[in-house]
Amino acid sequence: MYVIGKGGFGTVYHAYWPLKKKCTAFKSTCKFGGKREIQVLNYFNNLGKLNPNENKYVAEMYGYVELKEKIVIALELGQNNLRGYYLKNILKSNNRYLFSTKLLKGAAKALEQFHKHGIHLDIKADNFIISQEQNEGDN
Protein backbone atom coordinates (compact mmCIF):
# COMPACT_ATOMS: atom_id res chain seq x y z
CA MET A 1 0.00 0.00 0.00
CA TYR A 2 1.33 3.43 -0.91
CA VAL A 3 0.04 7.02 -1.03
CA ILE A 4 -1.41 8.14 -4.37
CA GLY A 5 -3.07 11.35 -3.21
CA LYS A 6 -3.44 13.74 -0.31
CA GLY A 7 -5.84 16.56 0.27
CA GLY A 8 -7.80 18.56 2.78
CA PHE A 9 -10.22 15.69 3.35
CA GLY A 10 -7.84 12.76 3.71
CA THR A 11 -5.22 10.52 2.16
CA VAL A 12 -5.77 8.04 -0.67
CA TYR A 13 -3.71 4.87 -0.94
CA HIS A 14 -3.21 2.38 -3.74
CA ALA A 15 -3.87 -1.05 -2.22
CA TYR A 16 -4.50 -4.63 -3.24
CA TRP A 17 -7.72 -6.12 -1.85
CA PRO A 18 -7.20 -9.91 -1.69
CA LEU A 19 -10.91 -10.76 -1.22
CA LYS A 20 -11.86 -8.84 -4.38
CA LYS A 21 -8.62 -9.83 -6.15
CA LYS A 22 -8.14 -6.30 -7.46
CA CYS A 23 -6.28 -3.09 -6.85
CA THR A 24 -8.36 -0.41 -5.18
CA ALA A 25 -8.07 3.09 -3.82
CA PHE A 26 -8.38 3.20 -0.03
CA LYS A 27 -9.30 6.64 1.26
CA SER A 28 -8.64 7.44 4.91
CA THR A 29 -10.66 10.46 6.02
CA CYS A 30 -12.06 12.14 9.13
CA LYS A 31 -15.38 10.86 10.46
CA PHE A 32 -17.34 14.01 9.63
CA GLY A 33 -16.24 14.22 5.99
CA GLY A 34 -16.21 10.46 5.59
CA LYS A 35 -19.82 9.98 6.66
CA ARG A 36 -20.99 12.58 4.16
CA GLU A 37 -18.88 11.05 1.40
CA ILE A 38 -20.30 7.59 2.14
CA GLN A 39 -23.83 8.97 1.84
CA VAL A 40 -23.02 10.51 -1.54
CA LEU A 41 -21.22 7.40 -2.84
CA ASN A 42 -24.05 5.12 -1.65
CA TYR A 43 -26.48 7.36 -3.48
CA PHE A 44 -24.49 7.07 -6.72
CA ASN A 45 -24.02 3.30 -6.29
CA ASN A 46 -27.79 2.86 -5.91
CA LEU A 47 -28.51 5.26 -8.76
CA GLY A 48 -26.20 3.21 -10.98
CA LYS A 49 -28.21 0.06 -10.25
CA LEU A 50 -31.33 1.78 -11.58
CA ASN A 51 -29.65 3.52 -14.51
CA PRO A 52 -25.98 2.71 -15.25
CA ASN A 53 -25.49 5.98 -17.14
CA GLU A 54 -26.31 8.04 -14.04
CA ASN A 55 -23.09 7.12 -12.21
CA LYS A 56 -20.87 6.62 -15.24
CA TYR A 57 -18.36 9.29 -14.19
CA VAL A 58 -18.30 8.68 -10.43
CA ALA A 59 -15.88 6.20 -8.83
CA GLU A 60 -17.64 3.12 -7.47
CA MET A 61 -17.52 2.56 -3.71
CA TYR A 62 -16.82 -1.08 -2.80
CA GLY A 63 -17.24 -0.67 0.94
CA TYR A 64 -16.08 1.18 4.03
CA VAL A 65 -15.16 0.69 7.66
CA GLU A 66 -15.63 3.15 10.51
CA LEU A 67 -12.71 3.22 12.95
CA LYS A 68 -12.27 5.14 16.20
CA GLU A 69 -11.27 8.49 14.71
CA LYS A 70 -11.56 8.00 10.96
CA ILE A 71 -13.34 6.23 8.15
CA VAL A 72 -11.62 4.17 5.46
CA ILE A 73 -13.42 3.87 2.13
CA ALA A 74 -12.56 1.32 -0.58
CA LEU A 75 -13.07 2.85 -4.03
CA GLU A 76 -12.62 2.00 -7.68
CA LEU A 77 -9.03 2.71 -8.68
CA GLY A 78 -8.69 4.80 -11.82
CA GLN A 79 -5.78 4.38 -14.18
CA ASN A 80 -4.53 7.89 -13.74
CA ASN A 81 -5.70 11.26 -12.53
CA LEU A 82 -6.31 14.17 -14.87
CA ARG A 83 -2.92 15.75 -14.24
CA GLY A 84 -1.03 12.48 -14.73
CA TYR A 85 -2.97 11.63 -17.88
CA TYR A 86 -2.23 15.08 -19.29
CA LEU A 87 1.49 14.83 -18.57
CA LYS A 88 1.77 11.25 -19.81
CA ASN A 89 -0.37 11.40 -22.95
CA ILE A 90 -1.28 14.88 -24.09
CA LEU A 91 2.08 16.62 -23.82
CA LYS A 92 3.63 13.85 -25.94
CA SER A 93 0.84 13.91 -28.51
CA ASN A 94 1.01 15.43 -31.98
CA ASN A 95 -2.62 16.44 -31.60
CA ARG A 96 -2.74 18.19 -28.22
CA TYR A 97 -5.85 20.16 -29.11
CA LEU A 98 -7.92 17.03 -29.83
CA PHE A 99 -6.76 15.20 -26.69
CA SER A 100 -7.14 18.29 -24.48
CA THR A 101 -10.65 18.89 -25.79
CA LYS A 102 -11.61 15.25 -25.16
CA LEU A 103 -10.16 15.38 -21.66
CA LEU A 104 -11.93 18.62 -20.76
CA LYS A 105 -15.25 17.32 -22.12
CA GLY A 106 -14.89 14.22 -19.93
CA ALA A 107 -14.14 16.36 -16.86
CA ALA A 108 -17.12 18.60 -17.64
CA LYS A 109 -19.41 15.55 -17.99
CA ALA A 110 -18.20 14.25 -14.64
CA LEU A 111 -18.88 17.58 -12.91
CA GLU A 112 -22.27 17.89 -14.58
CA GLN A 113 -23.25 14.38 -13.49
CA PHE A 114 -22.02 14.85 -9.94
CA HIS A 115 -23.58 18.28 -9.49
CA LYS A 116 -27.01 17.04 -10.51
CA HIS A 117 -27.05 15.19 -7.20
CA GLY A 118 -24.53 16.83 -4.88
CA ILE A 119 -21.69 19.29 -4.48
CA HIS A 120 -18.02 18.31 -4.68
CA LEU A 121 -16.03 20.38 -2.21
CA ASP A 122 -12.53 19.60 -3.49
CA ILE A 123 -12.41 20.09 -7.27
CA LYS A 124 -8.86 19.81 -8.61
CA ALA A 125 -7.05 17.90 -11.35
CA ASP A 126 -5.84 15.22 -8.92
CA ASN A 127 -9.43 14.32 -8.01
CA PHE A 128 -10.47 13.43 -11.55
CA ILE A 129 -9.62 9.84 -12.39
CA ILE A 130 -9.44 8.35 -15.86
CA SER A 131 -10.95 4.88 -16.12
CA GLN A 132 -9.89 2.31 -18.72
CA GLU A 133 -13.27 2.78 -20.44
CA GLN A 134 -12.82 6.55 -20.69
CA ASN A 135 -9.22 6.14 -21.80
CA GLU A 136 -10.40 4.02 -24.74
CA GLY A 137 -12.58 6.79 -26.12
CA ASP A 138 -15.80 6.79 -24.15
CA ASN A 139 -15.87 10.58 -23.78
CB 126 within 8 A of CB 83: yes
27 is in an annotated binding site: yes
DSSP 108-119: HHHHHHHHTT--
Strand (E) or helix (H) holding 77 = none
**3-state DSSP call for residue 33?**
helix
Strand partners, 130: 80
Binding annotation for ATP: 27
User: Binding site: what residues are annotated?
Assistant: 27
